[in-house]
Structure 1
């Protein structure tokens, strides 16, 4: 098929990455594969502490959710929710991607960050949730703010770049716009 049709714009991605062997981290970028992850789980919450860590053991537990290593190796990142088994709120998950701590309805859960060397900077985390996810779906016209792009966007109640990183999860959507029209 490739001989007849030529190379296609294949945007391979592996979703639900949790445990990635260190030898495989560099292979993503080398092969042009996007790492598609659900950042919300990359924190020390009850399920991680009581079920996951004991099951995986010390060595494999340290290989979980290696956002930072993948990004530093040039791997394209895409992120999304794990809805319906978790919140669809991307801001709660971006909070975890940046701080490696949970953010609940009562605010920051506090506690020790989970593998803090794997945290992303805020700009990279936002890009993974916007342009990174759009790219995987062959939507180069979405997920970015630029002329000619689809005007599907949200307005936030604060600038998450202006405050402390441990308050990212408190950010809320003020309005939602689809195709340039306000829908909420």
Structure 2
């Protein structure tokens, strides 16, 4: 380019002043070329880094999409299982409700409506699990025997006895020992 032109002109100059001016032009042009080459190399390295980041981001995106797909499938299966379980429970309910006394069903439906869809409360560790009020020992005994419907004295929900896992294990161990 211009550097080659300047170098050819060095052979044609007549004075030292012209020669020095040409050398200065050559040096300045070489500095510009070096600067442009460094900038070009820097841009190439930057492009390489950006390409690596893009590949890493695409890989991460692909992994996340696969993970999301698996999670969607898992949620869909759980939803199907829950719907099947709900359908089974509804059919069992349809079979069992006619066998219950009408006044108990009416009480349950009234509480269900009045208590925001939560008519029942388990008794855990001698407390109503909904309002956390201690249940009297006599009521606990009646609940264990399950002879009649008992309402919580505080929140008014139907109480039911919920065996602790360790109670079930002890009962099973006792049954096996006999």
TM-score for the superposition, normalised by structure 1: 0.19
Greater percentage in helix: 2
Which structure has the larger Rg? 2
Greater percentage in strand: 1
